[in-house]
């Protein structure tokens, strides 16, 4: 077989879902039935293969994305199991960035929950084809068709039902396959490893034929050949059905839906079949695109071994004090000992060792090729989102989007001797996690660590103590605000200094104006100065960008401002890059102070599930927290309340919710936007 043809038999997929939908359990069953592991690890026992961190085992949740691989019917399936908790959304973001397909796992009781929506839309943004697995059909309250409706309503997906449940709740026995029109029954005594196909029971046949007709009609709309066969009432072959399903899935026109109960060992093997049958290989997705660092023009790399190397570093982890970098190779070949180029940082790096990962276990390899997801040891300066490529054919790939922290905590070492160790440990943790930041407050000297939520910071603090052996004291959580302006202002600034006997001069005039929330910051060159060289323009933009890092109200980052360059004066032999950058920075800071600056607070989208009897108390409590009720819906006897609430009012909410609902309410919360306090 031609080396590149092996890519046809490769699947790079991720498992995405809301917390507690059963992602890790699904992954464990995939590994067991494919023969990758010989014992099923259970999340509730703290023995899941993919949840290897101590904190994951203790809490029963996935914190870090884990990479593994297995073989299924001759296909190489590379899998990334991602966290479901919103605090660790960066793990999902960077995983989806390098995947070719995704499996969305949905609880048959909870359906499409808030984090499900978030990760689904993340996958949409990266144009990742998806299949869906409705899990936990054995749970009390399971409702398969309700989940299908939620896929349509909440995710705007077009679900294609390929399977129906055979019974629900305690009576869930197996599935009805609408492609083969067979019933599948699993043998409990064999841990679901063996199953049998049989004729569909008479009491389910009418329903199965109804949904089979809908399936064929949906596919006929996507394929002319199938439409002809359907209209002429010819018997349609299974391989033809699968061909059209695959095409529609790869083109993101349909989402095939599977079902089962991973914990009860039912439905996983057909899901594996669906992964290899319907999700794309690296050859089925468009070639990776980027820009040429030399020309700035668009460039692409086809997924071939003999193409120049292009790869993306999507995750960095500390491994016994050494940096381990996870890499997706899009084109070319990488060998242990190879030197390559990081065009973003304009540095050369060397791959000391290449590793094929199975969760936290590893297998040393000599080479990796286009389509592979591996770990590399020996990279010293490469960060999350960096491109690695052949220096003779450089390409800069799109970086990974990173959300900014919204909550911070002050920490200090318990001993003076621990200060250096604390800073060193925080540096390593921030290298691993782009959503984790720390800074030393200039006024107080405090070390402030910032992250995506209370749980995120709890995990960081636990890791500081457990992995890095740093004993610390911590303060109370604080909100990380943003700063902006409310009125437009123009300002001019002169930088005039004598440094080391040399005169430095620059004059800059700018206008700043508020923009719509969520717009970000924008720089516009409105200056007609013909002598303004590109280097000077870059220095002005750089000076303004530096000023964005800390506002003048309380030192928080500045957002949603347009800065327009209105004028520049330069003097020969006096105006250099330093002077013009300093003038631009000073101009922005002075203009900002005159433009009625204000603080913006993180507003959190909160979803509360509570029995109907407690709805009034919960709403009253949210109103007291300055919350805005967006929607109230019903799922049986459970009320689903969606609200926008300032983050500062939500500290300790889990305790308050338990109090007002007698311990029966649950909630999820994720960042929505910034708004005035």
Write the CA distances from 214 to 56, 192, 230, integer angstroms. 42, 30, 12
Which residues, 6 or more positions from 296, have their beta carbon under 8 angstroms from its beta carbon?
A: none
Res. 102: pLDDT tops 80: yes
d(CA 431, CA 316): 7
d(CA 563, CA 255): 44
Predicted confidence at residue 65, as pLDDT, reads 64
Predicted confidence at residue 531, as pLDDT, reads 58
Neighbours of 44 (CB within 10 A): 9
67 or 613, greater pLDDT: 613
Phi, psi of 475 (to 5 degrees): -95, -170
Burial of 417 (0-12, 13-18, 19+ CB in 10 A): exposed
Task: Determine the distance from the C-alpha atom of residue 5 to the mean position of all C-alpha atoms in its chain, rounded to a whole number.
Answer: 30
DSSP 111: B
The band of 583, judged by pLDDT with boundaries at 50, 70 and 90, is very high
The three-point CA angle 69-134-101 to 5° equals 40
Q: What percent of the chain has pLDDT over 90?
A: 40
Predicted confidence at residue 28, as pLDDT, reads 87
Which residues, 6 or more positions from 462, have their beta carbon under 8 angstroms from its beta carbon?
A: 55
**Crossing angle of helices 23-33/268-278, nearest 10°?**
90
d(CA 496, CA 311): 46
Could you tell me if residue 217 is left (phi over 0), alpha (psi between -120 and 50 degrees) or otherwise beta? alpha
Res. 48: pLDDT tops 70: no
Predicted confidence at residue 258, as pLDDT, reads 97
422 or 535, greater pLDDT: 422
**Crossing angle of helices 419-432/454-466, nearest 10°?**
130
Predicted confidence at residue 58, as pLDDT, reads 52
Predicted confidence at residue 46, as pLDDT, reads 46
Residues 422, 472: contact at Cβ < 8 Å? yes
* Cα-trace Rg, the chain: 28
Predicted confidence at residue 51, as pLDDT, reads 46
Tens digits of per-residue pLDDT, 351-405?
999 988 876 678 899 999 998 888 899 888 888 889 999 989 999 998 887 777 8
Tens digits of per-residue pLDDT, 550-563?
888 888 889 999 99
Tens digits of per-residue pLDDT, 175-228?
999 999 999 998 776 677 788 899 999 999 999 999 999 999 999 999 888 898
Can you list the positions of beta strands (E) in 243-284? Answer: 255-259
Helix residue spans in 86-186 (DSSP H): 89-98, 114-125, 144-155
SS3 209: helix
Residues 282, 372: contact at Cβ < 8 Å? no
Which of 27-41, 221-235, 634-648 is the least confident region? 27-41
Tens digits of per-residue pLDDT, 247-295?
999 999 999 999 999 999 999 999 999 999 999 999 998 889 899 888 8
Q: What is the average pLDDT score of the chain?
A: 86
Q: Dihedral sign, CA of 141, 145, 146, 148?
A: positive
The band of 1, judged by pLDDT with boundaries at 50, 70 and 90, is very low
Predicted confidence at residue 210, as pLDDT, reads 95
Q: What b/e string do you get for 174-211 counting C-beta neighbours within 10 Å, with b at 16 or more?
A: bbbbbbeebbbebeeeeebbebeeeebeeeeeeebeee
Predicted confidence at residue 121, as pLDDT, reads 84
Predicted confidence at residue 44, as pLDDT, reads 44
The 3-state secondary structure of 516-567 reads CCCCCCEEEECCCCCCCCHHHHHHHHHHHHHHHCCCCCCCCCECCEEEEEEE
Helix residue spans in 264-408 (DSSP H): 268-278
Residues 281, 9: contact at Cβ < 8 Å? yes
d(CA 223, CA 237): 14
Residues in the chain: 677
Residues 7, 371: contact at Cβ < 8 Å? yes
Write the CA distances from 555 to 60, 375, 589, integer angstroms. 38, 38, 11
Res. 156: pLDDT tops 60: yes
Res. 546: pLDDT tops 50: yes
Which of 306-310, 479-483, 527-531 is the least confident region? 527-531
Res. 103: pLDDT tops 60: yes
């Amino acid at each position: 077989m031609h080396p590149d043809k092996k890519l046809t038999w490769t699947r790079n997929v991720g498992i995405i879902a809301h917390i507690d939908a059963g992602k890790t359990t699904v992954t464990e069953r995939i590994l067991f039935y494919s023969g990758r592991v010989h014992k099923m690890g259970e999340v509730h026992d703290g023995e899941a293969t993919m949840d290897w961190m101590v904190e994951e085992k203790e809490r029963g949740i996935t914190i870090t994305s884990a990479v593994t691989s297995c073989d299924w019917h001759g296909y190489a399936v590379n899998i990334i199991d991602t966290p479901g908790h919103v605090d660790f959304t960066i793990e999902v973001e960077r995983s989806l960035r390098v995947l070719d397909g995704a499996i969305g796992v949905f609880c048959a009781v909870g359906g499409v929950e808030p984090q499900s929506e978030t990760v689904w839309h993340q996958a949409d943004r990266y144009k990742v084809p998806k299949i869906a697995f409705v899990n936990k059909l054995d749970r009390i309250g399971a409702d398969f068709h309700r989940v299908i409706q939620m896929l349509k309503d909440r995710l705007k997906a077009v679900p294609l039902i390929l399977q129906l449940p055979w019974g629900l709740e305690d009576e869930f026995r197996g599935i009805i396959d609408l492609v083969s029109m067979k019933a599948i029954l699993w043998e409990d005594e064999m841990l679901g490893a063996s199953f049998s196909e049989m004729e569909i029971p008479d009491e389910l046949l009418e329903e199965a034929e109804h949904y089979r007709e809908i399936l064929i009609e949906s596919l006929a709309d996507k394929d002319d050949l199938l439409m002809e066969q359907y209209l002429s009432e010819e018997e349609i072959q299974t391989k033809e059905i699968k061909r059209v399903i695959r095409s529609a899935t790869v083109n993101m026109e349909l989402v095939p839906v599977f079902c089962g109960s991973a914990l009860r060992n039912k439905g996983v093997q057909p899901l594996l079949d669906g992964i290899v049958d319907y999700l794309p290989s690296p050859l089925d997705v468009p070639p990776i695109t980027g820009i040429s660092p030399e020309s700035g023009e668009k460039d692409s790399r086809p997924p071939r071994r003999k193409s120049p190397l292009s790869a993306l570093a999507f995750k960095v982890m500390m491994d016994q004090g050494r940096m381990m970098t996870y890499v997706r190779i899009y084109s070319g070949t990488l060998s242990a000992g190879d030197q390559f180029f990081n065009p973003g940082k304009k540095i050369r790096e060397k791959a000391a060792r290449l590793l094929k990962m199975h969760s936290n276990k590893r297998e040393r390899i000599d080479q990796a090729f286009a389509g592979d997801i591996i770990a590399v040891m020996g990279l010293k300066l490469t960060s999350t989102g960096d491109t690695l490529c052949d220096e003779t054919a450089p390409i800069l790939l799109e970086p990974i989007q990173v959300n900014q922290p919204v909550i911070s905590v002050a920490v200090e070492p318990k001993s003076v001797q621990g200060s250096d160790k604390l800073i060193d440990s925080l540096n390593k943790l921030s290298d691993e996690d782009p959503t984790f930041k720390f800074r030393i407050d200039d006024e107080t000297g405090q070390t402030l660590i910032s992250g995506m939520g209370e749980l995120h910071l709890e995990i960081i603090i636990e890791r500081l103590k457990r992995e890095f052996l740093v004993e610390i004291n911590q303060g109370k959580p604080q909100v990380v605000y943003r700063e902006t302006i409310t009125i437009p202002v123009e300002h001019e600034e002169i930088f005039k200094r004598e440094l080391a006997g040399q005169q430095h001069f620059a004059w800059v005039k700018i206008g700043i104006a508020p923009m719509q929330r969520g717009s970000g910051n924008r720089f516009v060159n409105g200056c007609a100065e013909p002598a303004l060289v590109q280097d000077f323009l870059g220095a002005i933009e750089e000076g303004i960008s530096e000023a964005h890092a800390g506002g003048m109200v309380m030192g928080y980052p500045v957002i949603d401002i347009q800065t327009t360059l209105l004028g520049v004066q330069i003097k020969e032999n006096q105006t250099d890059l330093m002077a013009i950058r300093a003038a631009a920075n000073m101009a922005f800071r002075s203009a900002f102070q005159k433009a009625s600056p204000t603080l913006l607070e993180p507003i959190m989208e909160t979803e509360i599930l509570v029995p109907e009897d407690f709805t009034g108390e919960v709403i009253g409590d949210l109103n007291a927290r300055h919350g805005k009720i967006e929607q109230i819906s019903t799922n049986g006897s459970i009320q689903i309340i969606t609200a926008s609430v300032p983050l500062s009012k939500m500290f300790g909410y889990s305790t308050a919710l338990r109090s007002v609902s007698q311990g029966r309410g649950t909630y999820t919360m994720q960042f929505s936007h910034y708004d005035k306090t």
